[in-house]
Amino acid sequence: MSKSLVERVIRADVRALSAYPVPDASGFVKLDAMENPYTLPQALREELGQRLAAVALNRYPVPSYTLLKEKLCRHMGVPAGFDVLLGNGSDELISIMSIACAQAGAKVLAPEPGFVMYGVSARFAGLDYVSVPLKADFTLDRDALLAAIAAHRPAITYLAYPNNPTGTLYDAADIEAVIRAVGDSGIVVVDEAYQPFAQESFMPRLPEFNNLVVMRTVSKLGLAGIRLGYMAADPALLQEFDKVRPPYNINVLTQAAAEFVLDHTAELDRQAAALRSARSELAAAIAGLGSVEVFPSAANFLLIRMANADKVFAGLLQRKVLVKNAGKMHPSLRNCLRVNVSTSEENALFLKALKESLQERI
């Protein structure tokens, strides 16, 4: 294809981007993407297999997704009178909100370091993106946020609760102050992707705020492969976002798998509980090494800081352990790595590889 065609047709800002990097993890202990390491027990997998075999692949999904939504509302504590909108992962919900709010001059605001897709999706939709730095300990800088809200009047403000890539569970009073400061001029999306590991939530508080959107995903819960996100908000808002949603965005296999797994949430809850206790053990073991700082995390990963993290990252790669070199993501994450909490076997493999990589880094 001639270069000039690409230049004529594709937006300059898109051409200047690099694609979202996803490294090939085959042969690695994969601890870079906040996945749940557990699969479903064999008996459930077999039953699921039968359900999926019965799905009519020749038919489009029925776009109301009534049963799936009912089950999500019931199992995920969505308050009475509130409904959910479904997305092909919460990534799609972020784009839906960006597109729906993309009026001339509209802005999106988020603390940084944070989830990269808030800014990426805003720019794709033609919205201005404004970031506000977190404090050095990665907690919210309430004064700076309130000042930015007053200056920019953002249409969308994102707060990940807990935050990725830091794991921080922001102070609920700070979040409330942001929701009130934004008031009627914008929506505040509390992104609860890691809620199963934090167990704190703004979901029950939806009736208090007409500008609050609570967004969740089943990805971190153990179902990253099926791509299903959901968000709850005032019905007047959801109704508008629904107009932007591609009509058949949840495929029939995802729909059937989610409906099945939602009847077995006890298994997912057990897995999340195991990861929460593994998180404390892993954090204590890493802190015990002496030369590594471990930031408090309410998610299924830990952010850790050490001297010469690039070398440690390379040492881990050599030992076939893949974590995220967070230092490359944001200047305030210098010398930080982000590592998933996993099974006790994988956590032990990581710890051993970390110890060895720390020793040889100098």
Residues near ligand PMP (CB under 6 A) are 34, 89-91, 115, 160, 164, 191, 193, 217, 219, 224, 229
Other Cβ atoms within 10 Å of 361 Cβ, number: 17
Q: DSSP letter string over 103-130? A: -TT-EEEEEES--THHHHHHHHTT-EEE
> Given the complex with ligand PMP, which of 92 and 346 has the nearer CB atom?
92
- Give the residue among 216, 210, 238 at the shortest CA–CA distance from 229: 216
> Given the complex with ligand PMP, which of 170 and 351 has the nearer CB atom?
170
> Given the complex with ligand PMP, which of 191 and 234 has the nearer CB atom?
191
Q: How far is the CB of 337 from ligand PMP (least distance, A)?
A: 16
22, exposed or middle or buried, with CB in 10 Å at 0-12, 13-18, 19+? Answer: exposed
SS3 231: strand
> Given the complex with ligand PMP, which of 217 and 249 has the nearer CB atom?
217
> Given the complex with ligand PMP, which of 94 and 206 has the nearer CB atom?
94
> Given the complex with ligand PMP, which of 34 and 214 has the nearer CB atom?
34
- Give the residue among 104, 100, 157, 150 at the shortest CA–CA distance from 130: 157
Q: How far is the CB of 162 from ligand PMP (least distance, A)?
A: 8
- Give the residue among 86, 9, 37 at the shortest CA–CA distance from 250: 86
- Reported residue count of the chain is 362
Q: How far is the CB of 32 from ligand PMP (least distance, A)?
A: 11
Whose structure tokens read 């909108």?
85
**Residue nearest to ligand PMP according to CB distances in the complex:** 89
Q: How far is the CB of 189 from ligand PMP (least distance, A)?
A: 10
Q: How far is the CB of 322 from ligand PMP (least distance, A)?
A: 15
Question: What is the C-alpha separation between 155 and 185, in angstroms, rounded?
Answer: 6
Question: What is the C-alpha separation between 69 and 238, in angstroms, rounded?
Answer: 13
Q: How far is the CB of 238 from ligand PMP (least distance, A)?
A: 17
> Given the complex with ligand PMP, which of 219 and 325 has the nearer CB atom?
219
Q: How far is the CB of 301 from ligand PMP (least distance, A)?
A: 9
Whose structure tokens read 């050095």?
136
Inter-axis angle of helices 142-152 and 172-182, nearest 10 = 10
SS3 191: strand
Q: How far is the CB of 290 from ligand PMP (least distance, A)?
A: 30
Q: How far is the CB of 118 from ligand PMP (least distance, A)?
A: 8
Question: What is the C-alpha separation between 283 and 278, in angstroms, rounded?
Answer: 8
Question: What is the C-alpha separation between 249 and 51, in angstroms, rounded?
Answer: 20
> Given the complex with ligand PMP, which of 95 and 211 has the nearer CB atom?
95
Contact 243, 20 (CB under 8 A): no
Contact 138, 297 (CB under 8 A): no
36, exposed or middle or buried, with CB in 10 Å at 0-12, 13-18, 19+? Answer: buried
> Given the complex with ligand PMP, which of 22 and 266 has the nearer CB atom?
22
